[in-house]
Amino acid sequence: MKIAVTRRIPEAGLKVLEAFGEVKTLAMHQTDDGIASEALLKLVEGAQAILSTVGERMDAATMDAAGPQLKIIANMAVGYDNISLAEAAKRNILVTNTPGVLTEATADLAWTLILGAARRAGEAERVLRAGQWKGWGPLQFLGVDLYKKNLGLFGLGRIGQAVARRGRGFDMTVLYHDVNRLSASAEEALNARWVEKDELIAEADILSLHCPLTPETRHAFTLAEFRKMKPSVVIVNSARGPVIKEDDLCQALDEGLVFAAGLDVFEEEPVINPRLFDHERAFLLPHIGSATIETRDTMARMAAENIVAALSGDTPENLVPLPL
C-alpha cells in the first residue's frame, strides 16, 4: 500500500498510517512549506491514498498522476475546496474531510481576529516593537467597543455557531445570514436572528465570515457590499480568502468605508496582496485557524483513520458527498 502524505503532519496521524501495515509515507522528509506542484505529482504516483491539506490542489492532473489505483483523498481540513469533487467522482475516488474537531480552535481564532482588529492590536504592537512608543496617550490606537454591539455572522454552521456562543460573553446581539436557517429553538439557544444579507451588511458592527467557498460565496463581499456597511464595521475572515474580493477590501480600507479587517485567509494563498500590507488596520494571520497542538493532532489522526478505513474496504466516517 502506498500512501502519499503531502506535508509533514503530526505524529498522531503518521502512527495510525504506520500501524496499518505496509505503508509508505512519502512525505517524511517534507517541511511545512508545502511542495511545488511538480513534486506533488511525483509524490502521488502509484498511491492508493493521498492525505492532503488545503494547500494542495487535488485536481484532474493530481488524480491522473496518482493513477487508477487511487482510492481515497483524505483532506486534513474541514474545507475541501482544494479538491475537484467532480473529477474524484468520475474516477470513483472517495473524498473525506475532518469536520467538527477544529470548530472550537477556529472559533477562538476568529475571536482573536475580532479583538485584534477592533483594538488595533497588530498596529500597536508594531509601534511598540519598533521602539516608537512614547508613553500613554488619550488618542492613541483608539479602537471600537464590542460590548453590546451587533455580531454579524455570514454562515452559521458549526464554526459560526461557536463564534456566536462566544459573543454572549460580550452581550452581543447575533444576526446571521445563511442559506440554511436554524430551527427556532437553535436560534433561541444562540440568541441569533436570521436576516437577509443586505440587513446583515447594514447592521453588523462586527462581520465575521463562516461559509464554505462555493461558486455562490466567491466574492460575496465586494466594494458594493462595503459601501453599504457602517464605517465603524470590523470585517473578519477565517473562512476562505476568495469570499472577499481583496482588492475591493483594500479600497474600502483606503476610503475609510470600513474601520478594520482581520484576515486569516487570503485570495491567493500563500501570496498576500501587497496592498494589504499598506494598511495598518489590516490584522493579518497566516491561515492558523485550526493551529493548536490538540486540534492538529486530532485532524491528522482523523484523516489517517479515514484512509485506513477506505483501504480496508470499510466506509470512512467523514465522506464528503460527491456529485452524481
Return the active site residues: 240, 269, 287
Among 77, 101, 107, 209, binds ligand DGY (CB under 6 A): 77
Which candidate, 39, 55, 97, places its Cα nearest to that of 72?
A: 97
> Residue 290 interacts with ligand DGY (CB under 6 A)?
yes
Please, what is the minimum distance in Å from the beta carbon of residue 62 to ligand DGY? Answer: 18
Nearest partner of 60 among 36, 37, 83, judged by Cα? 83
Among 13, 155, 241, 289, binds ligand DGY (CB under 6 A): 289
In angstroms, what is the minimal distance from the CB of 319 to ligand DGY? 16
Q: Which is nearer to ligand DGY, 79 or 143 (CB)?
A: 79
Helix (H, G, I), strand (E, B) or coil at 283: strand
Stretches 75-83, 117-125, 128-136, 313-321: which one binds ligand DGY (CB under 6 A)?
A: 75-83
**Residue 36 CB partners (closer than 8 Å, separation 6+):** none
By beta-carbon proximity to ligand DGY, the closer residue of 102 and 233 is: 102
Starting at the edge strand found earlier in the chain, the sheet holding 173-177 runs 192-194, 173-177, 150-154, 206-209, 234-237, 260-263, 282-284
Q: How far is the CB of 15 from ligand DGY (least distance, A)?
A: 20
Q: Find the binder of ligand DGY among 10, 13, 79, 116 (CB under 6 A).
A: 79
Burial 206-221 (b: 16+ CB within 10 A, else e): bbbbbbebeeebeebb
- Number of residues interacting with ligand DGY: please give it, by CB under 6 A: 7
> What radius of gyration, in Å, describes the C-alpha atoms of the chain?
21
Residues 100-119 that bind ligand DGY (CB under 6 A): 102
Q: Which phi and psi angles does 319 have, rounded to 5°?
A: -65, 135
Considering only residues 7 to 66 of the shown chain, the ones binding ligand DGY according to CB under 6 A are: 54
Stretch near ligand DGY under the rule CB under 6 A, chosen from 6-14, 71-79, 121-129, 203-211: 71-79
State yes or no: cis peptide before 270, omega within 30 of 0. Answer: yes
User: Which strands sit side by side in the sheet containing 94-96, from one edge to the other?
Assistant: 24-25, 2-5, 49-52, 72-75, 94-96
Min CB(304)–ligand DGY separation in Å: 15
**Min CB(101)–ligand DGY separation in Å:** 9
Considering only residues 181 through 220, tell me which ones interact with ligand DGY, judged by CB under 6 A. Answer: none
Q: With contact defined as beta carbons under 8 Å apart, do 285 and 264 qualify?
A: yes
Any idea what DSSP says for residue 244? Answer: B
Q: Which residues pair with 96 in a beta bridge?
A: 74, 319
154 closest CA partner among 133, 129, 179, 130: 179
The C-alpha cell that represents 111 in the structure block: 475571536
Least spacing, CB of residue 137 vs ligand DGY, in Å: 38
Cα–Cα distances in Å, from 38 out to 24, 52, 162? Answer: 19, 15, 39
Quote the least distance from Cβ 59 to ligand DGY, whole Å. 17
Binding-site ranges for ligand DGY (CB under 6 A): 54, 77-79, 102, 289-290
